[in-house]
Amino acid sequence: MKRRELFTGPAQPLASTCCKPGVSRMATLIPNALFRTHENEEVRFYDDIIKGKQVMVMMMYANCENFCPLATKRMVDLHHQALAHRIGKDLFMVNVSLKPEEDDPAALEAYAQMHHALLPGWTFLTGDRYDVDTLRYRFFSHDHIGLDEDPEQHAGLMKIINDPAGRWFHADVFASTRTVLEHIQWSDPPKPLAERLEENRKLQERIDRDRAVYGFRKIA
């Protein structure tokens, strides 16, 4: 079997359940491999982390000194500033180690502690190299296989998954708070048409107000 083929199959055969009414399409895309949390609990990735939930997933590793701490700080800020009322209730944060050989649960807990990220609704995961790679390929590849296999080249994107709604988005964790929140909102379950029409009318009011105040449209 070629290495590439290893990456493309789901962790377990799911063809029989795929796409029947009530079965999330995500189940076919997201591996259900075993991982271990920073609290040393064994979890199945799809069943325990993703299934039925809305989750923000990012890759990191504990010894990463440049971008990971910055990204983690950004997520801590988001947790405190904007999402505190949702995290742990209908929205969850997950970090998956890119270097599972180095990162045991204790290392992940130390990392989380150092960055003040031991917060409710936020899980750090480590697991088997193969499962980590499979996950990365699923979430963050745009088919650039060679690059995606290089741990130094993790794209630093955040995947926002809404399993029941069957929606997923990727966001730049360093984008403005407003932009990140918008991405989370995009992954929220689709609202009824009446509610969306009302939001649309409010957006129009904002556009018209910008025009009146600034002479041009400020809101995107």
Partner 1 sequence: MSQPEPGGESGGAQSAHEAGDAQSLRIDRRTLVKGTVIAGAAAVITSKKTAVFGQSAQSFGGSPSTPAPPALCATRPANSPATTPFVDDLPIPLPALPTLLSPFPTKAANTNAGEAARDAHQAWDAFPPLLFYHSIAAPSLHKFHRDLSPTYLWTFNGRYPGQTFLGHYGLPSLVRFRNSLPIDHPVPAIPEISIHMHNGHTPSESDGFAGDFFGAGLWKDNHYPNVYAGVDQFGGLGDPREAMRSFWYHDHRAEFTAPNNYLGLNGQFILYDSKDPGHELPLPGSLRLPAYYGVTDIPLQLHAILFCPTANGRTEAFIEAAVPAQVDKWIINGKIQPKLTVRRRKYRFRILNTGPAKEWNISLIGSDGLQKPMTVVAVDGNFVQNPFVVNNRTLNIPVATRYDIIIDFSQFAAGTSVYLREAQAQFVGVPTADPAPNLPIGNVAMRFDVVNRELWFPADTPSIPNQLTAMPDPIVPDNTFTWRFTRDGDPLRFRINGQVFDHNRVDHAVLKGSSEEWVLANDVIAGNWTHPVHIHFEEGRIVSRSHTNRDTDGNIVSVDNVPLLPEELGRRDVYRLPAQDRLVIRMRFRDFVGRYLIHCHQMNHEDDFMMVRWDIVETVEELTRKRREIDERRMLAGLPPQYGEDAKKGRLV
The residues that touch partner 1, with contacts defined as CB under 8 A, are: 5, 8-10, 13-15, 18-19, 25-26, 28-29, 66-67, 71, 137-139, 141-144, 147, 152-157, 166-170, 172, 174-176, 178-179, 182, 190, 193, 196-197, 200-201, 203-204, 207, 211, 214-217, 220
Give min distance, CB of 60 to partner 1, in A. Answer: 10
Residue (8 or 81) nearer to partner 1, CB: 8
Nearest residue to 27 via CA among 36, 37, 39, 19: 19
The residues, ordered by sequence, that sit 6+ positions from 118 with a Cβ below 8 Å of its Cβ are 38, 109, 112
Q: What residue spans of 82-164 are helical by DSSP H?
A: 105-114, 129-140, 145-148
Residue (19 or 106) nearer to partner 1, CB: 19
Nearest residue to 139 via CA among 12, 50, 35, 199: 50
Residue (18 or 84) nearer to partner 1, CB: 18
Q: How far, in Å, CA of 182 to CA of 214, rounded? A: 23
Q: How far, in Å, CA of 93 to CA of 211, rounded? A: 38
Residue (39 or 67) nearer to partner 1, CB: 67
Give min distance, CB of 39 to partner 1, in A. Answer: 27
Give min distance, CB of 20 to partner 1, in A. Answer: 8
